[in-house]
Structure 1
């Protein structure tokens, strides 16, 4: 078995010498440096499995050295030591690819355990590299887009994928939040473990705790046998909490405790159970507003929002519309069908309240209604305003609320006011739809 090679960079000579001696006694091959400038030639000469950097170094600091390391040796796991920085500095290190951090003065045994975890993580990543390539090519997992900001977001997603910190994905309905959650899972070392999605808005409030944590026989009327919850089903993998803003306050307390300890109790049970999951949450709401108005716990919000990904709406990346259309035509096995110039122009001028999901539905409609090899503007049946142009009211650009109100109203009419079908088409929960109907005073 290959001896793991380590590098320690710290300007405290006595502590570094002691650490190097101890690590070598444990079978590692360990080098050391007192500054980033001294470490960089070593990084260019040798391959390291794990490196350990003090955040505060003379000259170039540990954060910059971390960034340089990831450019030179992307696969190397980085541990950060901080006795001077704040939690924010440590989180910045994690965002830039650090595996973990320890506060000084650290316990040597704890550091050795963290090094071993980093080595195990690296081994899993090495085994998973070939599988990542295959997964990225699967049709049900393609994230399509060439827009510069969108690509930068995708690169950030990949950079933080192998990190166990919670991630909050924010974006409007239909932007592809679940795709990004899957990316975080399948591009990580947890890829071979379960990806379990929980839609807080689709499960009745009284059943949500049982669905999430499970229950034991006799816990309530109808609980005739023990049931494993989705948290337990996700053990080893990723738990995706979709429509986070729909979660009842009572359950938010239990979720917070689970996030802090990894422990939970089934409904009706007294025993604590422990699992290892990476939690990713998604919402289409303004969570700061939800917190301010008392509908969401502030402590839970900050616990989940360690790293956030903000998915841009489709109207902010019209240059991606032609790329997405080609993808949808290929997926429909209709690559010979083209989109007409007027239809493309109309789509790029449209505000897309339903985002990518709505574009997909429009292309499906165009395929059905077109009478030749070209989808024309009339085939799309775009929602129109009073002057016949999409996205306008009385010749002026419509507000998002105006667009949302009309879009929801037309969807309800199209579904004959079947709220289950309308909510599904809109990509929101039935509870959320009822709130929108009340907010906009919509009626049959």
Structure 2
């Protein structure tokens, strides 16, 4: 397959003609991507009948997702440069599937946590590898493919949470957890077939093994603006998932069932940003309008939950959920602001590694502030302040900049967009 650069105009061709295996592989990996992080909490009390979880182990389980997403997201580019994108996604999907299936067989806390770690480590790596795969195989369909895989990733986090309890009630908790592991195992099939199909052709390793690209990406102000956008979303998302039910219960006396509905509604609104966001992002020359919208809806939603939480609660939750456009923007720009898979994998690792690390600190910060102040005021101020950090990407993402193109190459006319570095 000839390599197509985003600096040139890629003529769209039929979506899956000649690339059905890759499409199926991305589809299945995206669908099973987040199940390890969402399939346990709804049935934790059921699991505790067989495996004892103390407060420390529950806390560790809750921290595994952001921690592993950050660490293994940062490490994924090194693996991709070493063994290539296709083999990297096979390793990541294997870890997801193996971890899910073996933690379903666990009989003690230690093994359950260990296999959860393995599964979420695979998720962290796959998070980073998926965007460059879209860049490599679908350079003419970045908007459409980004919509598909982002929507499936969100859907794959909602469905396990929704079906975990019914599956556990109908069979047992082990089958409930193992079900999602089978999806990751199934995802291996098209990727293995793709490797066999490509055997003997030009090696993929050389196409992404360029240390100079990594340096240019990490020293690019635009890369840091993209990372900041992702971090804003991660902070707000993890805070809402961890603390929104508690906030509503304490401040307006909302029942546990109703706070669960509100949290599901928040997630649904974030799904809309992944479904429609890429279509706008790929058509806009400047990200400034979407960033302004993201800042406005997060700040408006936070102010509503702070000042009048009992009035139109659903509206404030909806606005906060729409703020997850800050997630969609960087995940699409990973492909739009790089000239090839090497730049995409470097930017993806940077954005998600740093972004998830900062996001993991969000719930901890809110918890610390609340325990210190015994009030929610400063927590809402913290969330508003995090949204105002969007001023940085607002300034830098108003023009198209290729973060992995050296200035001298662009000077010779090999880049249609502005370079950095």
Q: Shared topology, TM-score over 0.5?
A: no
Between Structure 1 and Structure 2, which shows a larger proportion of strand residues? 1
Higher relative contact order (CA 8 A, sep 6+): 2
TM-score range, shorter chain: under 0.3
The normalised TM-score by structure 1 is 0.23
Rg bigger for which structure? 1
The normalised TM-score by structure 2 is 0.24
